[in-house]
Amino acid sequence: MIKIIPTAIENLSPYVPGRLIEEVEVEMGISGMVKLASNENSLGSSPLALAAVEKALPHIFRYGDADSRALKNALAAKYGFDPAGLVCGNGSSEFILVLAHGLINPGANAVMSRPSFTLYAKNVQAAAGRAIEAPLTPEYGHDLQSILDKIDKDTRLVFLDNPLNPTGAYLEAGELTAFYEALPETVILVLDEAYIEFTRKARPDYGTWLKDSERVVIMRTFSKIYGLAGLRAAYAVMSPQLASALNKIRQPFNTSLLAQVGAAAALSDDDFLRRTLNMTWSSLDYYAAELPAIGLKVYPTEANFMMAALPEGRSADEVFQALLRQGVIIRSLSSFGLDRHLRFNAGLEAERRALVEAFKKVLYS
Ligand SMILES: Cc1ncc(COP(=O)(O)O)c(C=O)c1O
């Protein structure tokens, strides 16, 4: 038979998303399940975004603005970015794909931590590049020296999620600046800030090195902080030169008309932002207070989720399945290579209580 599928694609394992709530409810015969598996916003979506999307609905027979100008202007007004260095996208997942396919030629490689967001390695491999993975520090943070050590003459991209998915670890501005300065000039640093809005620490101020550099891409998403995961809207900040290169290869209408208006409206929803942060932080504080008392080791987090390690002898997959039977969906980190670790996101009061009660039942009865 003629070989049609390239080996690089044949060898890829598919992305493992969090389970769909409707699907799990049917499978388990339980209704009203609690889902804390995909780092979504348990408060729902920004009301200002929802109103804008509803208002725009009659117009979806038309194509949206291929350059997302109104959204870029709203981002420029809020954060002071140069609109010429902004690219909008169908979720930040799209940027990972476009960067890998645009900048990784066969023989080139990209370096990332393992574990970190799994789409980095997959997209680099799909682009026939090599994904080189560096281990985390013993505290489950990015090991920046180890990443630097893995870089070679064929490295084009370094992916760094900050905060790090799935552990929640956070890099401060000083560490990032030193890392950027140590990178060879042939490497582009992709800073994935999908969860940056949730940090309680100082946000990195990239100062001049972002403004002057052609070698940095910062990706942010509306999926988490504004509760718009199903809408698919994100933006990336980079030099105008790199932005014009990526604009040539992305799909022209990648950010839908609805995504553009919803995201632009969300940017001014300070009330939703504040409520989201309050819900997230009180939830994470609750987990940190309750879970160690029932034998789980919790890790510091600056994201909207937390990682916890099970007691010796328990496996993440087994506990994940048992929690499903208790009506709670979280994430086993076995697909990230962590067999005794679980990840769950912040939730409403009833959701976070349900998780802790389910843990008690699963671990002790
Ligand atoms: C670190 C990280 N980056 C990017 C994404 C993708 O987000 P989206 O494509 O919804 O913008 C996720 C989603 O979970 C993530 O955890």
The answer to whether residues 202 and 282 belong to one domain is no
Map residue 189 onto helix, strand or coil: strand
DSSP letter for 278, please. Answer: H
CA of 296 to the centre of ligand 1 (A): 26
Is residue 10 included in any domain, yes or no? no
The answer to whether residues 305 and 247 belong to one domain is no
The answer to whether residues 157 and 80 belong to one domain is yes
The answer to whether residues 239 and 164 belong to one domain is yes
Please state the φ and ψ torsions of residue 334, each to the nearest 5 degrees.
-65, -35
Last residue of a domain, one of 266, 286, 317: 266
Q: Give the number of residues written for the chain.
A: 365
The answer to whether residues 222 and 352 belong to one domain is no
**Confidence (pLDDT) at 338:** 95
**Confidence (pLDDT) at 4:** 87
Query: How is the beta sheet containing 130-135 ordered, strand by strand?
Result: 86-89, 234-237, 216-221, 188-192, 155-161, 109-114, 130-135
Is residue 1 included in any domain, yes or no? no
CA distance 196 to 180: 18
Structural domain of 349: 16-44+270-364
The answer to whether residues 335 and 203 belong to one domain is no
Q: How many domains does the chain have?
A: 2
Token reading at 86:
């902004």
Please give the number of the atom of ligand 1 that sits closest to the Cα of 38.
Answer: 14
Per-residue pLDDT tens digits of the chain, which is 365 residues long: 778 888 888 888 888 777 788 888 888 888 999 999 999 999 999 999 999 999 999 999 999 999 999 999 999 999 999 999 999 999 999 999 999 999 999 899 999 999 999 999 999 999 999 999 999 999 999 999 999 999 999 999 999 999 999 999 999 988 999 999 999 999 999 999 999 999 999 987 776 777 778 999 999 999 999 999 999 999 999 999 999 999 999 999 999 999 999 999 999 999 999 999 999 999 999 999 999 999 999 999 999 999 999 999 999 999 999 999 999 999 999 988 999 999 999 999 999 999 999 999 999 97
Choose one of 223, 254, 305, 345 to mutate for the ligand 1 pocket test, by most ligand atoms within 8 angstroms of C-beta. Answer: 223
Please give the number of the atom of ligand 1 that sits closest to the Cα of 89.
Answer: 11
Map residue 342 onto helix, strand or coil: strand
**Confidence (pLDDT) at 154:** 98
- Preceding peptide of 138 cis, ω within 30°: no
Q: What is the CATH number of the domain that holds 76?
A: 3.40.640.10
